[in-house]
A and B are shown apart, each in its own frame.
Chain A
Amino acid sequence: MAREKYQTLTEQMFYILLCLRRPCCGTDIMEQVRRGTGGRVVIGPGTLYTLLDAFCRDGWIEEVRVEGRKRTYRITDLGQARLHRERERLGQLLADYAAWTGGEDG
């Protein structure tokens, strides 16, 4: 699924790419995201499957190991660049917020 046209990543896309900085399989990703966000972000299995498939097709991630039906993925340079761009965008948002509000909200 080409999200490029949206220019932004959803939270779920963001956390999937973040998890895949180290090789891991789909079921691990679900658990890692749930634990890592304290249950705030949950990735459904259907959504995860579709996004992994789309990221693979777009070259954002790659398969590094296949054991039976268990596939292990890792982020590619292209995916890493996309993740980095998203981090910069989010950072820019925070910076803009601070600049515009003068840090009034803490």
Chain B
Amino acid sequence: MKRRYEWRRFDWTEPEAIEAHLSRMAARGWQLERIGSLLWRYAAAPPQECTYAVAYSCGDTSVYDGTPTESQLEYRDYCEAAGWRFVAGLACLQVFRADRQDAAPLETDEAVKLASVGRTLRRNFLPAQVFLLAFLLLLAALLVPQLLCRPYEFLRSHTSLLLLLLFPLMLLESVTALLHVWLWYWKSKRSVAAGGRCARLSRRFRRGRQAALVAALLLLLLAMAADFCTGDPGIRAEIAYILLKIVLVLALAWELLPLLRRLGWDRGAVGSVYWGAVVVLAVVLVVISPDTSERNRVTRAALPLSMEDLGWAAEGTEPYARLSYSRSPLLSFLEGLDWDDGWLRYRVYRSPWPYLLSCTASALHRGLGWVEITGDPAWRGGRVWRLPGVADPTYCAAYPGVVLYIDYGLPPTPAQIGMTLDALLP
């Protein structure tokens, strides 16, 4: 049988919109067959005019229960007696289709309907939404200090930059979703108390929210593609790993719960296995992060500046050289490492935005007692700081458009500093 899937596009607060949409689909030859958490399945059928009704009957239902509960079956019996045939359901949400022209509406008392939807919102929507908001706020609390301390880490690639933009957007979406529901409930309560109907909010607001999220996700994919095209093998591996994570999370969200429900286990077992799998996957994704730095291994000759260039290369040892680079509209980044008996490690940040470079330089030489040595003629007029008291001299130097961070394995001579600047400055 021909089938099609559709992304769930409706809120809990708009049963009328769901009913109208299902009727339109039936008129086009698609009958609703199954409701999933994210995807709704339709089966091809001869086009016909159908009246649908959406009901929220919580009772003792659970998303972990594959089989309908006694109270749901009893509810369906009532609906059947009134001329409504059960079509599909997910937890509290149940969809019916009218078998008779004279079938009475499922809900004939707006106050009862409001109480029923309100109960569903409290049991299903609010806990998940509040949990998501709390999670996002926790992430914000962790992210903002890092952003202030190491802004260059977030600004140096398209992906990290867009992730940074996506985060407040998700936060905004979560808050506005809560506000939207609260507004609907408040308006409905007032309307019902005055003898009217439950509120119907404009769908433009929700559509706008969804469009913004979809646009942001598309931009993120574009950013990933842009980073992928920079050619840095380490970034390519990281992007592949991020995509794998997304696929795993989506597969878990879409498929595992329906699969477990179909096994016919009791809801406790389904819930335990599902959340066990979520925790295991989260730990696996966070803890097991493959080391992609090996992919950036290059020959010494590929480095813009090597120990050989500075006359420090040891004879007869196998050098280890690594080069990585990334770029965003705000900041570009290059990191080189050359290592045999000693080492040379440097990072170069470039940006057309002086303020960002200034923030980057400040963040790089913050703490640990960095000493400013600006005026040393070897550094050709740049603002320079040195990290004192360490065996390997480490410098941070700021020039118009560029910030360097260099860790020399040995004390450099003025000539070697000159060679460094020749190689790394534009």
Q: What residues make up the interface of A, taking CB atoms closer than 8 Å to B?
A: 1, 3, 10, 12, 26-27, 30-31, 34, 42-51, 53, 69-71
Contact = CB atoms under 8 A, between A and B. Distances in A.
B84 A47 contact: no
Main secondary structure of the interface of A (DSSP, over half): helix
Contacts of B105: 42, 44
Given A27-B78, A69-B77, A50 B106 contact: no
Contacts of B70: 69
B241 interface: no
A44 B77 contact: no
Given A1-B111, A30-B81, A45-B75, 4 more contacts: A44-B82, A45-B79, A47-B112, A48-B78
Which of B75, B82, B84, B116 gathers most chain A CB within 10 Å?
Answer: B82
Interface of B: 55, 57, 59, 70, 73-75, 77-79, 81-82, 84, 104-109, 111-113, 115-116
A53 B70 CA distance: 13
Contacts of A30: 78, 81-82, 104
A49 B108 contact: no
Contacts of A47: 106-109, 112-113
B73 A69 contact: yes
Contacts of A44: 82, 104-109
22 contacts: A3-B111, A10-B109, A12-B108, A27-B77, A27-B81, A30-B78, A30-B104, A42-B108, A43-B108, A44-B106, A44-B107, A44-B108, A45-B78, A45-B104, A46-B55, A46-B113, A47-B106, A48-B78, A51-B109, A51-B112, A69-B70, A69-B77
B111 to A, nearest CB: 7
Contacts of B84: 45
A50 B115 CA distance: 9
